[in-house]
A and B are shown apart, each in its own frame.
Chain A
Amino acid sequence: MSDSTDTSGPTTGAPGGGGAGSVAVHLDGITKRFPGVVANDDVDLRVERGTVHALLGENGAGKTTLMNVLYGLYEPSEGRVVVDGDPREFDSPRDAIDAGVGMIHQHFMLVDPMTVTENITLGNEPERLFGLAVDRDRAREAVVDLSERYGFDVDPDARIEDVGVGVQQRVEILKALYRGADVLILDEPTAVLTPQEVEELFGVFEELTAQGKTIIFITHKLREAMTAADDITVLRGGENVGTLDAADATRERLAELMVGREVLLDVDRAAATPGETVLDVRELVVGDTRGVRAVDDVSLSVREGEVFGIAGVDGNGQAELVEAVAGLRDADAGSVHLDGTDVTDTSRRDRVDAGMAYVPEDRQERGLVMDFDLVSNGLLGSQHARPFAENGRIDWERAREHAEEIVAEYDVRPADVDALAESLSGGNQQKFVVGREFARDPRLVVASHPTRGVDVGSTEFIHDRISELRSDGRAVLLVSSKLDEVQSLSDRLAVIYEGSFVDVVDPEAVTEEQLGLLMAGERPDADVSVEEVSR
């Protein structure tokens, strides 16, 4: 709205002269500090016009923060942003958009019930009748023109809620282009895409760069960076640890830069001594919120003293599978047995009572009541059970002791059980949730992304605890999108793709490459499976 000249439609061509080879974006010594954290430390980044630049790094390396600085969401503590050779100060994304910088967030900013055209033109609608009406023909034309120019296959009249994720992403890109973006930032664009859609996206990248657009995309996947990018910048701990020409980059080199040490940490531990079967899932089918089969015929079993890992690209049914096992989602078909008892239709509470601990994916939505203190949160799930409650009456003394034990053992800070959950940092929240669940004396632990958003020290601590559970003879079902995590902790590793297991492999024998193929739904040439997957 601030840019009235933009309302007429897309601006075309590269402003400010400079053909291919000139620097489109230069981040000059960017430092971004948050209270207690340095997210970016003196980062230099040059992106040449008409190229694809990958920003590679582990979770927490500072990639998104850096891009938020470029997009005007954060103001840098130090350093400057130079776009097309001009130093800029962005107070808001609007300024960035005006300077030709567009960002496609991981979570799409689309209005579901509206059409593609309505979404693309939102806020910049071409008008007629002195602003009394949207010029729908002109809007549609502009969208058709744009998608033809860049070879997008998008129906301008389709509703967003009716099209797939890949199309939605293209709509987001079109939205940025419509606003005249020359530099496109994409945050983890492949996280929600199928391999085919990823291929198509990379095709779109080529088309865009061929027409002079510049692309920066954030990823933590080596292969993608090497396939799609011209240049790769690796961030680690908020610092730029190297920019490479993609042609010269090798996986080993990138991995070493990313992790900062020899890759593949081997957890030294005793061989598994699996005992009785604790969890037995048979031919499970689960619908997602829209009723589509999110989990399609999955069978698995976890035994005492065993960690069963599930790897896969996010959104392939892991969340639904875990919730169905935990009793938070109804199964449409199949069964879940716990210690030989069919618990498919039992309530969540019954499963907790039967010895199931569950570290949920979203600790702030599910795992903790943010407005409760730690005493109450330590009670969550046990509020009906001994020793904390008897005859419906809660023993608050006991609950307090329990919370204090968790806080002490898991080094939760601040060590104050009267603190509200919301006042804790994410890492400490997670440690508290993990501590509470592991303290249940469980038969089965279901852990979903147990170290997501947790600092390195806490991550190692949680990993050690999971190993301890295993040696204590408990069954663990572990879901994570971090490959090294599932690979190093699991005894058997299943790869899930579109709701089904592609294969179950020996995590020590399988290579990352083979896993990558499996996660894309393909079988590698070498047979790595340890058991038949019923399909």
Chain B
Amino acid sequence: MSADGGRGDGDGPVEDTDAGTSWPDRLREYAVSMAGASAGERLFIALAAIVLSMLVGTVIVVAGGLVATCRTPVLTVADLTLCYDPVAVYDRLFFGALGDPLSEGWSPLNAQFAVTLRETTILVFTGLSVALAFRAGIFNIGTQGQLVVGALGSALTVLWAAPALSGVAGTVVLIPLGLLAGAVGGGFYGAIPGVLKAYAEANEVITTIMLNFVAVLVVRYLVSDHFQDPGSQAIQTASLPEYARFPSLFFDPRLNFSLVALAFALAVVGGVYYLLSHTSYGFDLRTAGLQPAAAEYGGVDSARTVVTSLTLSGALGGVGGAVYVLMVLGKFQRGVPSYGFDGITVSILAGNNPIGAVFAAFLFGVLQSGSSVVDFATRPTTSPPTAARPSNATARAAASGTVSAPSRGGRWSRSRRWRCWRCWASLRSSRRSRGSGSCSASSSRSRRSRRRSGGRSRSSSRQSAASSPRSRASSTSGSRGCSSSRRSPPSTAHT
């Protein structure tokens, strides 16, 4: 390039910016300058995006509230009735998720806060998984599948090893073993798209998404045909023994949250941060992610980096799955919630920074946990859908967001809702039975939905084929309104 002006050489003078640029141009310049922003600016962008998406959420809640019909609207203007109260939604979403910190007698050990932290813990792993791959320039949309494989691997390994051990020794051996199995399973499942990308140039976005579907189906086959818990209707493995589960310090063991797991998650965050910032491998990985040609020049083996980073990313997702099994469920069960997809939004919100992922994961933990509180607490006759999950907020993508699956309970009668609440309360008292038991309200609804789907078995069998990406919808439906158990077992209606 011998261009005299030398634009391509970068020493070239830059054309003075025109004073009279139109507003889209200026807006774009602004957006472009933001893309190269510093850490502080990124934080600002992230916060602005959250606020913006809350506004969008409000619009959706209001719009939904205007469309829906209900007996006791929160607001009536002329003929327009607003069924959902956006203020109440956000109040419940945030304060509810923390267990109402402003009310008297609040304790950080409250049940709803435990749910929030439980979600946070797993989202930290999936967020890290996505972030690590992102930093290597790879879009790992397959964290969900890797998490599912890791979860099953962890459950099966622990079930296999558990009989040989017991007591504290069992915990000390089985938990690390379970985590390792999760990492190996997820890592293996992440290595597949890695190899395909490195050696066959298959685009990882598509292969990982396809592998998500495959994971759900293969895992369902494995569990139902080989590892099925004979005592259960649901597709699930036998339960792990109590000593093979994360010990819950301070928190009520029935809340399925363990501070040990959270501490482990934070340690992994530190590890990933160290790996990226202070090791030669991390340098290779970041260089490959930013500028592959320069990485090659700097002696980075790009194929190897692709495979190893996707393997590591998968392993992190797999560990997330292991924690889900060892802390939350105590077994493997079909219908794993979409932690992996939320990991994408967590990672993007965090700017793919491992430390930032902790905060982003907490935000999403609050949103997940809060959305179940919202269902419950705002009650004109219909409960407002929890549409207002601000998420996926990148500066560049301005406002974007997933909308969590809406409550099915919109048209439940008050009494059914109450039955469900009672049922949940009773189940809480007996943690072991939670998995196999089900609330009458929800099971009756399940029967109804089974009837509904009876006439179109073809489509229903196909939907259920891949419940992973939106498994929240199905797994939630069974338990909507029973606050702690968004992740509770899906009813058999969908199988």
Contacts and interface: CB of A to CB of B under 8 A. Distances in A.
**A and B directly contacting (CB within 8 A):** yes
B10 interface: yes
Nearest to B304: A347
A138 B98 CA distance: 73
B242 to A, nearest CB: 40
Interface in A331-352: 347-349, 352
A160 interface: no
A106 interface: yes
A389 B13 contact: no
Contacts of A383: 280, 283-284, 287, 298-299
Interface in A462-520: 481
A393 B279 contact: yes
Contacts of B270: none
Nearest to A426: B11
B19 to A, nearest CB: 13
B287 A369 contact: yes
B16 interface: yes
Contact of A371 (B5, B10, B290): B290
Given A381-B297, A383-B298, A427-B11, A61 B291 contact: no
Nearest to A364: B10
Interface string B277-306: 011111110010011011111111100000
Given A39-B13, A191-B2, A396-B278, A348 B294 contact: no
A367 B294 contact: yes
Interface string A257-271: 000000000000000
Given A360-B297, A384-B280, A384-B299, A425 B4 contact: no
Given A366-B297, A367-B297, A384-B299, A394 B6 contact: no
Contacts of A31: none
B14 interface: yes
B200 interface: no
B291 A369 contact: yes
B297 A453 contact: no
Interface in A414-469: 422, 424-429, 452-455
Contacts, number: 134
Interface residues of A, number: 62
A347 B2 contact: no
B102 interface: no
A312 to B, nearest CB: 15
A389 B4 contact: no
Contacts of B169: none
Nearest to B6: A453
B1 interface: yes
A275 to B, nearest CB: 27
Contacts of A179: none
A34 B278 contact: no
B279 A349 contact: no
B3 A429 contact: no
A292 interface: no
A328 interface: yes
Interface residues of B, number: 34
B9 interface: yes
B79 interface: no
Nearest to A105: B3
B253 interface: no
B104 interface: no
A389 B297 contact: no
Contact of A352 (B2, B12, B299): B299
B294 to A, nearest CB: 5
A59 interface: yes
Given A370-B291, A371-B290, A394 B2 contact: no
A483 to B, nearest CB: 13
B225 interface: no
Interface in B1-44: 1-6, 8-16
B294 A394 contact: no
A379 interface: yes
B297 A35 contact: no
Interface stretch (A8-16, A62-70, A127-135, A226-234): A62-70
Given A349-B301, A379-B283, A425 B294 contact: no
A453 B301 CA distance: 30
Interface string A46-80: 00000000000101111111101000001000000
A452 B5 contact: no
A393 B295 CA distance: 18
A61 B4 CA distance: 6
Max chain A CB contacts within 10 Å: which of B1, B4, B16? B4
Contacts of A392: 279-281
A188 B2 CA distance: 9
A427 B12 CA distance: 10
A349 B5 contact: no
B2 A369 contact: no
A502 B287 CA distance: 39
B294 A366 contact: yes
B17 to A, nearest CB: 11
Contacts of B10: 364, 422, 424-426, 429, 453
B4 A394 contact: no
Give the most central of B283, B297, B301: most A CB within 10 Å. Answer: B297
Contact of B4 (A62, A372, A424): A62
Contacts of A61: 4
Counting chain A CB atoms within 10 Å of each CB, the highest count among B5, B14, B279, B293 belongs to B5
Contacts of B297: 328, 348, 358, 360, 366-367, 380-381
Contacts of B16: 34-35
A17 interface: no
B462 to A, nearest CB: 38
A365 interface: yes
B15 to A, nearest CB: 7
Contacts of B291: 365, 369-371
A296 interface: no
B14 A35 contact: yes
Nearest to A63: B4
Contacts of A372: 287, 290
Interface in A353-367: 358, 360, 362, 364-367
A220 interface: yes
A35 B13 CA distance: 6
User: A-B pairs with the 4 shortest C-beta distances?
Assistant: A34-B13, A426-B11, A349-B299, A453-B9
11 contacts: A34-B13, A62-B4, A64-B3, A328-B296, A348-B297, A348-B299, A366-B296, A368-B294, A383-B298, A396-B278, A453-B6
Given A426-B10, A452-B9, 15 more contacts: A37-B13, A60-B4, A65-B5, A74-B15, A106-B2, A220-B2, A328-B297, A358-B297, A365-B294, A393-B280, A394-B279, A429-B11, A452-B2, A453-B9, A455-B11
